[in-house]
Amino acid sequence: MAKRIVVFNHKGGVSKTTSIYNIGWMLSKNSNVLVVDADPQCNLSSLMLGDKFDQYYLDDATKKDNIKEIYPFKLV
């Protein structure tokens, strides 16, 4: 059965992004992990894909690929 971990805090600067990144990274060593970045600032997406993550969707070589291509986590 799938397990879910949800992190929410309305205040900024409480380490939500860093915590989820590290928790996801460690859990991905033994399990399939889906990390969802629902923040409009996309800080978690940027952390996982790099600062130019929007190029992933604009570049002809990768725009038809699935986001799973970043597995295992690429530390950028």
What pLDDT was estimated at residue 68?
A: 57
Residues across the chain: 76
For 60, the domain range is 16-70
The answer as to whether 75 is a domain residue is no
The whole model's pTM is what? 0.65
- Identify the band that residue 72 occupies on the pLDDT scale cut at 50, 70 and 90: low
The answer as to whether 11 is a domain residue is no
For the chain, the 3-state helix, strand and coil shares in percent, each to the nearest 5, are: 35, 0, 65
The answer as to whether 4 is a domain residue is no
Instruction: Tell me the per-residue pLDDT of 34-67, one tens digit each, with 9 for 90 and over.
Output: 888 888 888 888 888 777 777 777 778 776 666 5
Give me the amino acid identity at 3.
Answer: K
Number of separate domains in the chain: 1
The answer as to whether 59 is a domain residue is yes
Q: What is the mean predicted confidence (pLDDT) over 16-29?
A: 91
The answer as to whether 5 is a domain residue is no
* Cβ–Cβ under 8 Å, residues 57 and 39: no
